[in-house]
């Protein structure tokens, strides 16, 4: 499917820039510990796989790889707002996930670590949607862990308010076999009922869940039958947990009717009460580190 491709080999690290027939651009990274694929449209890292293991991230088999269309899966960038805008004519989750980013830099830290830096800046078109001058930088570090750092800088002369999320889709064995720990006793807004609740025990799934947790201040752990995913968040005190379950999944675009069994979203965010206000020339960084390891103990469902 590729019309063009360029490869850069640095030591044992290979960075490959590919362009699909429709102009969609992908950066591929391969080194001793892991491989990854990043779309320049949306700056979405839609694959990260450690050598000898299953992919960490889930990608829909029906996902579009079309310029200016969001990928269903990976880690879409929700920015400069999370969820619906007050102006319902504007796209849900903002415009960063459908914008064309530029690859500013890619280099080898060592034979097992690669860093990519992508950038998005305001344009005449973006200011018609959101009237601010800005610089948005996504730093991706691919090693035995995956780290994403999203830095927003206000280049305007007025204060800027944002909500945002690293909308991570995690690949799982089956939604009935997973639990999420680390959010016990945390308050959350149930986006389905719009009621505020408190999480009792670990999170398990038997229906649609769409929750925005607040006061998040420690490691979140996704336990699956054979693996454990550690999620460390920085610059954030909110986290979104989402699975569409049966009915909603069957209505969603670019998703099989039973795809809800294959993923869960645990999203590092600045959402709802955790919004960010930036003074002119000030910056804020939202950061997440994902570490996948074998689950040595049989999952205990609470």
- Annotate 120-165 with three-state secondary structure: EECCHHHHHHCCCCEEEEEEEEECCCEEEEEEEEECCCCCEEECEE
First-last CA distance in the chain: 47
Q: Is the dihedral of CA 84, 90, 94, 97 positive or negative?
A: positive
Per cent of the chain over pLDDT 70 is: 94
Tell me, what's the pLDDT at 300?
47
> What are the Cα distances from residue 103, in Å, to 25, 38, 285?
11, 10, 19
**Tokens 């945002």 appear where?**
164
Return the pLDDT at 163: 98
CB-count burial class (<10 Å; 0-12, 13-18, 19+) for 42: buried
65, two tokens? 């790889």
pLDDT in tens, 134-192: 999 999 999 999 999 999 999 999 999 999 999 999 999 999 999 999 999 999 999 99
Structure tokens at 191: 């986006």
Q: Which residues of 49-80 are buried (b: 16+ CB within 10 A; e: fewer)?
A: bbeeeebbbbbbeebbeebebbbbbbbbbbbb
Q: Nearest 5°: CA angle at 241, between 161 and 73?
A: 85
Give the model's pLDDT for residue 1: 31
Q: Among the CATH numbers 1.10.150.670, 2.60.40.10, 3.40.50.150, 2.70.98.10, which is that of 2-294?
A: 2.70.98.10
Is residue 250 within a helix (H) or strand (E), and if so which, with residue range?
helix 245-251
Residue with tokens 């009935």: 176
User: For residue 103, how many C-alpha atoms fall within 13 Å in the half-sphere facing its CB?
Assistant: 20
Residues of the chain with pLDDT under 50: 1-4, 9-11, 298-302
Q: Structural domain boundaries of the chain?
A: 2-294
**What is the C-alpha separation between 189 and 214, in angstroms, rounded?**
8
- Residue 277 CB neighbour total at 10 angstroms: 11
């Amino acid at each position: 499917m590729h019309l063009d491709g360029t490869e850069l080999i640095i030591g044992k690290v290979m960075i490959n820039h590919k362009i699909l027939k429709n102009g969609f651009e992908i950066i591929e990274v391969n080194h001793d510990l892991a491989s990854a694929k990043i779309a320049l449209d949306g700056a979405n890292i839609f694959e990260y796989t450690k050598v000898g293991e299953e992919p960490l991230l889930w990608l829909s088999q029906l996902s579009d790889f079309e310029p200016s269309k969001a990928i269903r899966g990976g880690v879409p960038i929700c920015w400069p707002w999370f969820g619906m805008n007050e102006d319902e004519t504007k796209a849900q989750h903002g415009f960063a996930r459908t914008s064309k980013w530029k690859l500013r830099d890619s280099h080898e830290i060592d034979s097992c670590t690669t860093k990519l830096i992508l950038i998005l800046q305001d344009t005449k078109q973006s200011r018609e949607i959101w009237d601010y001058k800005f610089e948005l930088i996504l730093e991706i570090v691919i090693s035995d862990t995956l780290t994403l750092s999203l830095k927003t800088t206000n280049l305007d002369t007025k204060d800027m308010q944002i909500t945002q999320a690293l909308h991570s889709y995690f690949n799982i064995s089956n939604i009935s076999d997973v639990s999420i720990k680390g959010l016990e006793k945390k308050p959350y807004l149930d986006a389905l009922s719009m009621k505020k609740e408190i999480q009792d025990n670990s999170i398990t799934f038997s229906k649609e869940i769409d929750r925005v947790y607040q006061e998040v201040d420690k490691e979140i752990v996704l336990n699956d039958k054979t693996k454990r995913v550690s999620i460390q968040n920085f610059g954030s005190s909110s986290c979104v947990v989402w699975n569409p379950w049966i009915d909603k999944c069957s209505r969603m675009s670019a998703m099989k009717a039973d795809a809800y069994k294959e993923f869960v979203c645990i999203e590092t965010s600045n959402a709802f009460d955790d919004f960010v206000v930036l003074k002119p020339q000030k910056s804020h960084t939202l950061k997440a580190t994902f570490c996948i390891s074998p689950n040595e103990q049989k999952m205990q469902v609470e």
